[in-house]
Amino acid sequence: MTSRPNPFSLAGKVVLVTGASSGLGRQIAISCSRMGARVVATGRDTARLAETLCALEGDGHTSFVADLRESAQIHALVDAAGTVDGVVHSVGLQRLAPIKMVSEKLLNDIVGTNFIGPVMLTQRLLYKNALADGGSIVFLSSTAAHVGTPGVGPYSSMKAALHGLTRCLALEQAKRRVRVNCISPSAVETPLWDKDHLESQRARHPLGLGTPDDVANATIYLLSNASRWVTGTTLVMDGGVM
């Protein structure tokens, strides 16, 4: 029997994962390492980022503490990462605020963390030619970008903005075969959620709540050669809610 290459393998690839100090980003980093990638993990919390680094399988992984709302720190991160084959933007911030109550500070925090940070990190990687030809960019969006939910306006808006960005950037980068896609998960148990609020979501989901592994597996697909013909899309993962 001849052995065929695994199209989902990430062997030989370097993947930069933001938000790697927690939740989905941490699991994505771990799963990428299991699929053979060398991971560059980034987040703000030094201790939690170190825990992620310890959980990675294989050799050669690195971590870099950076606040993605600070352009100097984005530049330093890109310099430290070197050339990468994939970037997963799992950085994110969710705060509940009906528009009647929203403050400019909250709006700036949500826009800066969920949109400007990921866009400017992508800009810097491209400007410095630090994303290899044939590379893959994955943004973590949310089902909040697809359906209205009271109190989620700023977060929902910025996740929807990532969809517009994905479609345009996919065309801008197609010549280099760099692919750009989004994943829109519904509720997955991570520190992003308050426990009671998460439990109240369970009954809405015909297939139950998602796990970080579910999202990590989809991310591996979008980073790997298995998705070489897929760009400019959003994959909804919601256990059947929508």
Ligand X SMILES: NC(=O)c1ccc[n+]([C@@H]2O[C@H](COP(=O)([O-])OP(=O)(O)OC[C@H]3O[C@@H](n4cnc5c(N)ncnc54)[C@H](OP(=O)(O)O)[C@@H]3O)[C@@H](O)[C@H]2O)c1
Residues forming the site for ligand X (CB under 6 A)? 19, 21-25, 43-45, 48, 67-69, 90-94, 113, 117, 140, 142, 185, 187-188, 190-193
**Least distance in angstroms from the C-beta of 119 to ligand X:** 13
In three-state secondary structure terms, 239 is: coil
Q: 71, 118 in Cβ contact below 8 A? A: no
**Least distance in angstroms from the C-beta of 157 to ligand X:** 13
Question: 46 vs 129, which CB is nearer to ligand X?
Answer: 46
Question: 38 vs 146, which CB is nearer to ligand X?
Answer: 146
Locate all alpha helices (DSSP H) within the chain, ordered by sequence.
Answer: 23-34, 46-55, 71-81, 104-111, 117-127, 153-173, 195-202, 212-223
CB-based contacts of 228: which residues, under 8 Å, 6+ apart? 177, 179
155 tagged catalytic: yes
Question: 132 vs 213, which CB is nearer to ligand X?
Answer: 213
Catalytic site residue from 49, 91, 155, 184: 155
Q: 18, 42 in Cβ contact below 8 A? A: yes
**Least distance in angstroms from the C-beta of 1 to ligand X:** 40
Tell me the catalytic residues: 155
